[in-house]
Chain A
Amino acid sequence: EDKVVQSPLSLVVHEGDTVTLNCSYEVTNFRSLLWYKQEKKAPTFLFMLTSSGIEKKSGRLSSILDKKELFSILNITATQTGDSAVYLCAVDNAGGTSYGKLTFGQGTILTVHP
């Protein structure tokens, strides 16, 4: 069965700090890895990663995938209170019984204090 594990489960930092969120996975037919940010209800899309070693960047957020070691990291630099949220990692499966579904990790709760 597909499995996604995120660490840490929670993180408390101060504004201006840099954080690194981790996501490891085991899937039978890897298609892509996605990161979402969930503040109140709707998870909002951040990144989709399909190839190893290619960094995706958006402002202060960046992410990279390692398909050999089966993990991804999400970096947030110069954190702000608005970055406080649950960050979700999900893996998209290319086939088999998991076809079409995203398998999510437990999420990392990030709290940024002023």
Chain B
Amino acid sequence: EAGVTQSPTHLIKTRGQQATLRCSPISGHTSVYWYQQALGLGLQFLLWYDEGEERNRGNFPPRFSGRQFPNYSSELNVNALELEDSALYLCASSFTRNIQYFGAGTRLSVL
């Protein structure tokens, strides 16, 4: 069974650009979660989508947004990139509110 898949693996952008990160959940999972893991910091919760709706968001500015598609895959969009947005972005999926399983992440570098 395929795990959570994320693309791209690496993404290099410059300040002010927009980044789009993608996540495909484990088959049968309806919830997708996004976390940011910046260097020296723990995993910080960004967003939770379930059945196509945003259910909760963390303490991040509105330029962090996303959506969940009818097939339960998800996109994370980061607008007006800043240097401090450089981090590993991890996606996780779960069936309803059960155990969250993580993907390998997208490493975003903002120059």
A: which residues have CB within 8 A of B? Answer: 34, 36, 40-45, 48, 88, 90, 92, 97-107
Contact = CB atoms under 8 A, between A and B. Distances in A.
B64 interface: no
Interface in B4-46: 4, 31, 33, 35, 42-45
Interface in B42-69: 42-45, 48, 50, 55-56, 58
Interface of B: 3-4, 31, 33, 35, 42-45, 48, 50, 55-56, 58, 88, 90, 97, 99-105, 107
B42 A99 contact: no
A100 B33 contact: yes
Contacts, number: 58
A100 B55 contact: yes
A104 B42 contact: yes
Nearest to B56: A100
A42 B43 contact: no
Contact of A36 (B31, B58, B102, B104): B102
A40 B37 CA distance: 12
A42 B103 contact: yes
B45 A102 contact: yes
Contacts of A107: 42
B43 A48 contact: no
Contacts of B31: 100
Nearest to B91: A42
B45 A99 contact: no
Contact of A101 (B45, B50, B102): B45
A47 to B, nearest CB: 10
Nearest to B49: A100
B99 A48 contact: yes
B43 A88 contact: yes
Contact of A42 (B33, B44, B58, B90): B90
Given A45-B99, A101-B33, A106 B88 contact: no
B43 A104 contact: yes
